Amino acid sequence: MLRIEDADLPGLADLTQDRLRTITGADEVDLLRLRYRAGKRAILHIAARTGEARNEGTLWFFKGDKGKRLARRNKKTARFDASTQVLFEPFPHDHRMPQIRNFLEKFDAAMPKLTGFEAAGTPQLLRYRPGLSCTFRCPLKDQDAAFVKLINDDDPVRLCASNRAMQRALACSDVSVAKALGLDDHISAIAYETAPGRPLDETLVQASDLSVLNRSIAALRSFWTASITPERLMGPDRLLLRARESADFVAVTAPDCAGAAGDIVARLTAALPNSDLRPIHGDMKLEHIFLDAERVTLIDTESVSLGLADYDLAQLYGRLWQAEFEGQLPRQRVERASAMVRAEAGPDFDWCLGVVAVRLAKYYAQRPAPDMAVSIMAMLERVR
């Protein structure tokens, strides 16, 4: 299922389904996402099924004997496979994020501090990035659910202050951001309210017209001109670096696609934009835009940066075509919608679209599967 030749990480050389079953003790194992640094480490997020039970987990590949040492230190919650030199931790165990287990064990007590409300029921795991972050949907008594993010790669105090600043800056506009309810810096957690309305991806499935897309783009324009000063910078140099890193990753797991990704990066390198930078969302997905009758709300705003406005539109364009490729939206509707996005774009759109194309190629390269190369080339063909 996964084959990477790396002398310092020998367990990646022939990671078959049989070997995955041996490592995890599960009946079947699905590969969800790979992170990899040559000669240093690999982190493989998996879903393991045993009978009717399904759980997520992480395979950690380290250079040297770090995996064995961690297994000894966490022998009640981790297991070490000597033949592959891999450490396996079933969720919620994560040696880099012990706060996940802490949060789940003390969930009822944690919610009033995080949200101001009592918990009702159990948290639902929405997204897990091993070692980095974890997001739960948390039911509350007499309130809409809250979304709690446990974060290792950012500072909840900074995120909460940034969220409040955006709330103030956008108070009189037609766009808002999901409100931060509170934080607990002892477990690196921040809680957000449920955004009003429905996400754009769901709305586009049922929309008889595409006015929701026009509203979304108008809201983004308001966001780009708001009095927001993000600390993060996502200018052309940063985007080019991301594109190069993405192409390098594609070359590792999908070498047949390396030439196509490399050609795009070469074109990007030859013509860097020099437009003014504005506040942008920076991680624009269809599901990050919520619409109700009165307002458009952006969620997952930890990515807000100073960058090229056309990058938000290029991401929107790319995600539309990804939804078509994965069968979520009909092709004819996506053709119309993507034409609308392009019509609103500025001079840097095609350059930004090249970055998006290579980033989407990496998305599939991180998810090893028999048809991975086909998926990568299909996205590169669509997003251009």
* Number of compact structural domains in the chain: 3
Cα dihedral sign, 19-25-28-33: negative
- Note the pLDDT of residue 23: 95
Please indicate, yes or no, whether residues 103 and 86 belong to a single structural domain of this protein. Answer: no
Reference 115, options 136, 145, 135, 155; nearest CA is: 145
Please indicate, yes or no, whether residues 139 and 218 belong to a single structural domain of this protein. Answer: no
Cα dihedral sign, 197-202-206-212: positive
Please indicate, yes or no, whether residues 369 and 232 belong to a single structural domain of this protein. Answer: yes
Tens digits of per-residue pLDDT, 100-154?
A: 999 999 999 999 999 999 999 999 999 999 999 999 999 999 999 999 999 998 9
Q: Which residues pair with 224 in a beta bridge?
A: none
Give the range of the structural domain holding residue 43, as residue numbers without chain letter. 10-90
Rounded CA separation 188/159 (Å): 11
Please indicate, yes or no, whether residues 235 and 372 belong to a single structural domain of this protein. Answer: yes
In a domain, 4, yes or no: no
> Which domain-ending residue is among 166, 193, 220?
193
Q: Indicate whether 207 pLDDT > 80.
A: no
Please indicate, yes or no, whether residues 295 and 377 belong to a single structural domain of this protein. Answer: yes
- Note the pLDDT of residue 1: 75
Please indicate, yes or no, whether residues 164 and 86 belong to a single structural domain of this protein. Answer: no
> Taking the complete model, does pTM exceed 0.85, yes or no?
yes
Rounded CA separation 22/358 (Å): 34
Please indicate, yes or no, whether residues 113 and 254 belong to a single structural domain of this protein. Answer: no
Q: Indicate whether 206 pLDDT > 90.
A: no
Please indicate, yes or no, whether residues 50 and 115 belong to a single structural domain of this protein. Answer: no
Q: Tell me the pairing of strands 296-298 and 175-177.
A: parallel
- Note the pLDDT of residue 298: 98
CA torsion, points 86, 90, 92, 96, in degrees to nearest 10?
Answer: 0
In a domain, 289, yes or no: yes
pLDDT averaged over every residue in the chain:
96
Looking at the chain, the whole-number percentage of residues with pLDDT higher than 70 is: 100
Who contacts 279 (Cβ-Cβ below 8 Å, separation ≥6)?
223, 224, 226, 228, 229, 230, 304, 305, 306
Rounded CA separation 311/356 (Å): 8
The amino acid occupying position 205 is V
List helix spans (H) across 129-225.
156-169, 200-206, 211-224
Average pLDDT over residues 43-55: 95
| pLDDT bracket for residue 239 (50, 70, 90) | very high
CATH number of the domain bearing residue 261: 3.90.1200.10
CB 305 within 8 A of CB 282: yes
CB 381 within 8 A of CB 353: no
In a domain, 1, yes or no: no
Q: Distances in Å between the alpha carbon of 198 and those of 115, 177, 296, 299?
A: 22, 14, 10, 12
> Which domain-ending residue is among 90, 120, 151?
90
In a domain, 57, yes or no: yes
List helix spans (H) across the chain.
17-24, 66-73, 99-105, 107-115, 156-169, 200-206, 211-224, 236-253, 258-270, 309-325, 331-343, 349-365, 372-382
Average pLDDT over residues 199-213: 91
Tens digits of per-residue pLDDT, 276-328?
A: 999 999 999 999 999 999 899 999 999 999 999 999 999 999 999 999 999 99
Please indicate, yes or no, whether residues 298 and 217 belong to a single structural domain of this protein. Answer: yes
Reference 373, options 363, 382, 365; nearest CA is: 365
Please indicate, yes or no, whether residues 215 and 259 belong to a single structural domain of this protein. Answer: yes
Average pLDDT over residues 203-215: 90
- Note the pLDDT of residue 209: 82
Please indicate, yes or no, whether residues 226 and 273 belong to a single structural domain of this protein. Answer: yes
